[in-house]
Chains A and B, each alone.
Chain A
Amino acid sequence: MCLHKFGSELYANLQGECLLYARTQLSEINKEQDETENGTVLTATRQFWTQYTQQLAVIRCVFLYLDRTYVLQTANTPSLWAMGLAVVRQCLEDSGMAVRLARLIVQEIARERDGATVDRAMLRVLTQMLVDLNLYSQYLVPRLIEATREHYERESRRMVGRLVPVQPAGAQNQMDVPLYLDHVKRRLTEETDRTAQYLSASTKSTLLATAVGELIEKHTDHLLATSFDDMLAQDCVADLGNLYTLLESVARLDMLKRHWAGYIKRTGMALVQQPDLDVALVTELLALKQRLDNVLAQSFAGSESLAHALREAFEEFINARRNRPTQLIAKFVDQCMRTGSRMAPDQALDALLDRVMVLFRFIQGKDMFEAFYKRDLAKRLLTNKSASKDAERAMLQRLKQECGAGFTNKLEGMFRDIEASEDLAGKFAGSASAAGIGSMSFHASILAHAFWPTYEPMDLVVPKAAEEAQNAFTEFYGETHQGRNLQWQPMLGTCLLKVEFDEGPKELALSVVQGTVLCLFGEADELSYTEIQQNTSLDDATLQRTLQSLACGKTRVLTKEPKGKNVDSTDRFIFNKAFSSPQARIKISQIQTKGAEKETKDTEERVQFDRMYKVDAAIVRIMKARRTLSYTDLLTEIMAQLKFNASATELKKRIDSLLEREFLERDDNDQSVYKYVA
């Protein structure tokens, strides 16, 4: 027939037949009103479609010649297969059945979401049909998305409204946020599964986005505000991981970051602002840091921006209480480095100090740390309390890496001084000058002023034997180091005394001041306060403290008359012959409290003083380079140069002082502009 040019007619006839068949079949199905479960409409449609496609395939085979010649050669004539599909498509659209089918499919999906079992195979055939007929994206997708949106909107509203505060794991009987997140995760898996099973893959991203949008995005604020802190506090690593992934998928990480930073700041601030927590503050901070690092790595995939927020938050709260945390960190390191510290076993010490360095990095006033660290280091070195030289050096190396060689220069100088003093002590012991000092062993640490903390000189008349030794040493030192004067620092020295009690000889480890006072009792059994003071020329505060440690402390080698806790200038002191102790060597510690407080204050003041010079230097440096500068510009420049926080008022004072000293002058025309005076 094709050869005789009937191709066109034949094609038209075929088309007509198909249309007629499809229309009758479909309208038959469409009459069915039963739309309930396992609706016959859907089943029938499926049946029709399977049959129809089979028949269409047969037709194509029979009319193969037509398909290959006439159809191919004529423009605007779709192949037989395409024509067959187009016919059905037209029928479905014309009769409104496309809409109905889409509605019914969505209804089935809704039933499945509510937990019913549906015929997934049937749904797969039907959606595939819609895809083949090009009806899928036009009819099904918008309805499906809309239905999904509504479904999850309802569901999330219902669930979120009933969320309870975070409960400890295992005790959950009501839905809290972690459970809700689990639920959401399950829902999303279901939806993914659905697209894989019977929806077109192209729908997946839109569908998931709609679901997660309703379940999470719209409630982000609420979820985070109510439970994020608790989840962090309870260390729900897995749940936080869920939260992170979900929020990442809706691009709400900025909110997570905000709450994250907020939590860290609040928690940290609470720790830092509690004065009674001071002792444990560093340990607490380290624990907090470790916990948060863990969450960051495990739950938040080590996110760069969250890590940054963590650092910023730490920096903010750690510097909130001025210098106190700085001092505590320095002190913590000191405790770690001391002999007999129970902070950490040797092998863990390195790791612990590494973690402390992380806190150190957050501190703004590094000079304050240096001052306190230096003071403690000095004490460790002079009293030989340092647990390990290697650990000390490793710590120094860390500081050097962090702040540069300038920062540790002086600290290194201190080590050098101590080593040089050891050498010197060895040489002195073998020298002729040492011959005169008898059986007592003598050791002097010689310090260069620039490296060490400044110590206030103290008047003390040391025992004769010690004094002779000191003089001998001075002479010896003068021979090898010309042009230098030695100034003895009694408050830093220590001594070991052998004291005869009734029970037998005891060795007492004392400070030089304590030792000097006790030596007086080698020649007398009873002395009055005034006598002691005359013979030692100590000031009242020091003497009272010293006597208190000897007569009122735990180890009472002296007895006081009249008895009592405090030392008065009218008291008398008697050598306590009856003193007994199971130990052969006893250490009597000095009474620290007042001294330590004062020391802390002094150190702080000294740092402030140093800062003043640094500010002056910075101002002069800037003004020398810029010649004229307005007040505000000058302030910004100074702030940029200084490594510590200085308030504008403090800076203003320094500028005023420089004006007074005529380093600067005000501009004649504009009072807010300064000029450098060469």
Chain B
Amino acid sequence: MAQTPNQRPFGSASSLVSLCNIFIMKVKIKDWKAVAGWRWDVPDDDVCGICRAPFDACCPSCKIPGDDCPLIWGECTHVFHMHCLLKWLGTESSQQQCPMDRRPWVTAS
């Protein structure tokens, strides 16, 4: 969920709030255990240019997406499953180029 910290709709209550704040804080957070899921930072439903499987899924040689089947970003801004790209770079014909734009592959850091 995208959060926009400075647009909190406190509205009418805010004047009251500031008054009350003069006294001690009635409610204080001691411990906050949040839970979050992570996704690859790629547009929704985008697919790997090599295996055509969604980035949210894994490459054909893996079974489970996630940490074990990471993505790799090139300086040319193209993204692939790391396994797919490494396999491609391992072939003779790749000439170490990005399969999308034929520029030499440089992994973005």
Given contacts A444-B36, A449-B37, could you give 13 more A-B pairs where the C-beta distance is less than 8 Å? A382-B35, A442-B31, A447-B35, A449-B56, A458-B1, A484-B40, A485-B38, A488-B3, A497-B30, A512-B34, A519-B29, A524-B13, A534-B9
**A556 in the interface (beta carbon within 8 A):** no
Given the complex, which residues of A lie within 8 Å of B60, measured CB to CB? none
**A7 in the interface (beta carbon within 8 A):** no
Query: Which of A440, A461, A489, A524 is in CB contact (< 8 Å) with B29?
Result: A440
A205 to B15, CA, bound (A): 105
Among residues 529 to 546 in chain A, which have CB atoms less than 8 Å away from a CB atom of chain B?
531, 534-535
Given the complex, which residues of B lie within 8 Å of A448, measured CB to CB? 37-38, 65-67
A468 to B5, CA, bound (A): 8
B26 and A521 form a contact (CB under 8 A)? yes
B20 and A525 form a contact (CB under 8 A)? yes
Among residues 467 to 520 in chain A, which have CB atoms less than 8 Å away from a CB atom of chain B?
467-471, 473, 477, 481-490, 492-500, 507, 512, 515, 518-519
**A410 in the interface (beta carbon within 8 A):** yes
Query: Which of B13, B30, B37 is in CB contact (< 8 Å) with A527?
Result: B13
B3 and A467 form a contact (CB under 8 A)? yes
B5 and A500 form a contact (CB under 8 A)? no
Known: A444-B35, A447-B35, A534-B9. A466 touches B40 (CB 8 A): no
Chain A nearest Cβ from B43, distance in angstroms: 11
- Nearest CB to that of A381 among chain B residues? B35
9 A-B contacts (beta carbon < 8 Å): A447-B36, A458-B1, A470-B36, A484-B40, A493-B32, A493-B33, A495-B31, A521-B27, A531-B13
**B92 in the interface (beta carbon within 8 A):** no
Known: A450-B66, A471-B3, A535-B13. A495 touches B33 (CB 8 A): yes
Given the complex, which residues of B lie within 8 Å of A466, measured CB to CB? 29, 32, 34
Chain A nearest Cβ from B35, distance in angstroms: 4
Known: A444-B35, A493-B35. A471 touches B64 (CB 8 A): no
A410 and B64 form a contact (CB under 8 A)? yes
A488 and B34 form a contact (CB under 8 A)? yes
Given the complex, which residues of B lie within 8 Å of A459, measured CB to CB? 1
**A547 in the interface (beta carbon within 8 A):** no
Chain A nearest Cβ from B96, distance in angstroms: 22
Query: Which of B30, B33, B34 is in CB contact (< 8 Å) with A507?
Result: B30
A495 and B29 form a contact (CB under 8 A)? yes
**B61 in the interface (beta carbon within 8 A):** no
B32 and A440 form a contact (CB under 8 A)? yes
Given the complex, which residues of A lie within 8 Å of B39, measured CB to CB? 449, 484-485, 487
Most buried by B among A450, A477, A492, A521: A450
Range, interface on chain B: 35 or more
A518 and B20 form a contact (CB under 8 A)? no
A489 and B37 form a contact (CB under 8 A)? yes
Known: A487-B39, A495-B29, A525-B20. A409 touches B13 (CB 8 A): no
Chain B nearest Cβ from A506, distance in angstroms: 11
Given the complex, which residues of A lie within 8 Å of B38, measured CB to CB? 446-449, 477, 481, 484-487
**A233 in the interface (beta carbon within 8 A):** no
**B88 in the interface (beta carbon within 8 A):** no
A336-358 vs B, Cβ < 8 Å mask (1 yes, 0 no): 00000000000000000000000
**A441 in the interface (beta carbon within 8 A):** yes
B35 and A445 form a contact (CB under 8 A)? yes
- Nearest CB to that of B39 among chain A residues? A485
A455 to B28, CA, bound (A): 28
A492 and B35 form a contact (CB under 8 A)? yes
**A463 in the interface (beta carbon within 8 A):** yes
Among residues 414 to 428 in chain A, which have CB atoms less than 8 Å away from a CB atom of chain B?
416
B5 and A467 form a contact (CB under 8 A)? yes
Query: Which of A416, A441, A457, A492 is in CB contact (< 8 Å) with B30?
Result: A441
A488 and B71 form a contact (CB under 8 A)? no
Given the complex, which residues of B lie within 8 Å of A143, measured CB to CB? none
**B101 in the interface (beta carbon within 8 A):** no
A462 to B3, CA, bound (A): 9
A483 and B36 form a contact (CB under 8 A)? no
Chain B nearest Cβ from A620, distance in angstroms: 16
A485 to B28, CA, bound (A): 29
B31 and A409 form a contact (CB under 8 A)? no
A497 and B41 form a contact (CB under 8 A)? no
A487 and B37 form a contact (CB under 8 A)? yes
Given the complex, which residues of B lie within 8 Å of A446, measured CB to CB? 36-38
A512 to B32, CA, bound (A): 8
Among residues 430 to 454 in chain A, which have CB atoms less than 8 Å away from a CB atom of chain B?
440-452
Query: Which of A445, A461, A486 is in CB contact (< 8 Å) with B33?
Result: A445
A451 to B13, CA, bound (A): 42
A460 and B32 form a contact (CB under 8 A)? no
B26 and A413 form a contact (CB under 8 A)? no
Given the complex, which residues of A lie within 8 Å of B56, measured CB to CB? 449
Given the complex, which residues of A lie within 8 Å of B65, measured CB to CB? 448-450
A521 to B13, CA, bound (A): 11
**A661 in the interface (beta carbon within 8 A):** no
B27 and A450 form a contact (CB under 8 A)? no
A498 and B30 form a contact (CB under 8 A)? yes
A463 and B29 form a contact (CB under 8 A)? yes
Given the complex, which residues of A lie within 8 Å of B20, measured CB to CB? 523-525
**A465 in the interface (beta carbon within 8 A):** yes
Chain A nearest Cβ from B69, distance in angstroms: 9
Among residues 90 to 147 in chain A, which have CB atoms less than 8 Å away from a CB atom of chain B?
none
B63 and A409 form a contact (CB under 8 A)? yes
A440 and B12 form a contact (CB under 8 A)? no
A493 and B9 form a contact (CB under 8 A)? no
Query: Which of A442, A452, A534 is in CB contact (< 8 Å) with B37?
Result: A452
A413 and B64 form a contact (CB under 8 A)? yes
**A464 in the interface (beta carbon within 8 A):** yes
Given the complex, which residues of A lie within 8 Å of B9, measured CB to CB? 534-535
**B17 in the interface (beta carbon within 8 A):** yes
Chain B nearest Cβ from A622, distance in angstroms: 21
Most buried by A among B1, B13, B41, B79: B1
Query: Which of A409, A483, A522, A527 is in CB contact (< 8 Å) with B40?
Result: A483
Chain B nearest Cβ from A516, distance in angstroms: 10
- Nearest CB to that of B29 among chain A residues? A440
A486 to B12, CA, bound (A): 32
B32 and A495 form a contact (CB under 8 A)? yes
Given the complex, which residues of A lie within 8 Å of B11, measured CB to CB? 534
- Nearest CB to that of A523 among chain B residues? B17
Chain B nearest Cβ from A250, distance in angstroms: 57
A409 to B13, CA, bound (A): 50
Query: Which of B1, B17, B71 is in CB contact (< 8 Å) with A460?
Result: B1
A535 to B37, CA, bound (A): 24
Chain A nearest Cβ from B48, distance in angstroms: 13
A519 to B17, CA, bound (A): 12
- Nearest CB to that of B23 among chain A residues? A500
A470 and B34 form a contact (CB under 8 A)? yes
**B100 in the interface (beta carbon within 8 A):** no
